[in-house]
Structure 1
Amino acid sequence: MGEAGELRSWDELIPDALGVIFTNLSLKERVTVIPRVCKSWCKAVSGPNCWQEIDIEEWSNYCQPDKLDQMLHMLISKSCGSLRKLCVSGLQTETIFHFSFAENAGSPSEF
């Protein structure tokens, strides 16, 4: 509630709070649906709070290797160095690990 008992809308939440809430949604929703709702939600889902844990293991089992690398580059870049956990399978090269560690240098990670 806002001042004097006013209700506040979701788009008035600070981006970090929205980002934490959005982590409970599926990857597909965070990538395709949330950015289209409104400007504040797009900003929130673009922030690193939504991308500290990336789990695309199930999806990666059915994905073409070049698409998998593209998706990982995009998602890891969104984490802005805050990636803590990455779940993926079917990687063809070590390139993505070098990219992951370079993006997250100095932070503890679960790979």
Structure 2
Amino acid sequence: MESEEPIRSWAELPPELISSILLGLNSIEILEKAQKVCRSWRRVCKDPSMWRKIDMYNHGDLGSMGLSDLKWQLSIACRSSNLRSLRLS
């Protein structure tokens, strides 16, 4: 009889590994989807180190995604205490 492997949760991943995964996503995916995975992912998504460089270029009209330009800018600014680069257009 084989022993069963324990079931692992995404929430158990170390923050450093979650950050590495999230670096493969664009800013919109992080803002709209990744932070909804679980609490630990949301915590990493809100970490200012994730928002040192933000490139929103080539994302089309952000307002057409259901959020006003001001709301997008405020959302980005709240996450960006370590911001080094912001490209909106």
Q: CA deviation at 1:83?
A: 0.8
Letter in 1 for 2:61: Y
The one-character-per-residue Cα deviations of 1:77-103 (angstroms, maximum 9, x if unpaired) are: 112x211111112xxxxxxxxxxxxxx
Q: Which has the higher helix share?
A: 1
Q: How many pairs does the alignment contain?
A: 81
Percent of aligned pairs with the same amino acid: 27
What's the offset of the Cα at 1:13? Answer: 2.8
Deviation at 1:16, TM superposition (A): 4.2
Distance in 2 (CA, whole Å) between partners of 1:67 and 1:16 is 32
Give the whole-Å Cα distance in 2 for the aligned partners of 1:14 and 1:21. 11
- TM-score, normalised to structure 2's length? 0.67
Greater RCO, 1 or 2 (C-alpha within 8 Å, sep 6+): 2
- 1:29-85: CA deviation from partner (whole Å, max 9, x where unpaired): 2112112211111111111132111111223x5345x92232122112112x21111
Point out where structure 2 has 5 or more consecutive residues left out of the alignment.
1-5
CA spacing shift, 1:15–1:67, aligned 2, 3 Å: same
In the alignment, structure 1 segments of 5+ residues that lack a partner are 1-5, 90-111
CA distance in 2, matches of 1:63, 1:27: 12
The residue aligned with 1:78 is 79
| Match runs of 1:1-111 below 5 Å | 9-59=9-59, 62-63=61-62, 67-79=68-80, 81-89=81-89
* Partners of 1:75 and 1:23 in 2: CA distance: 16
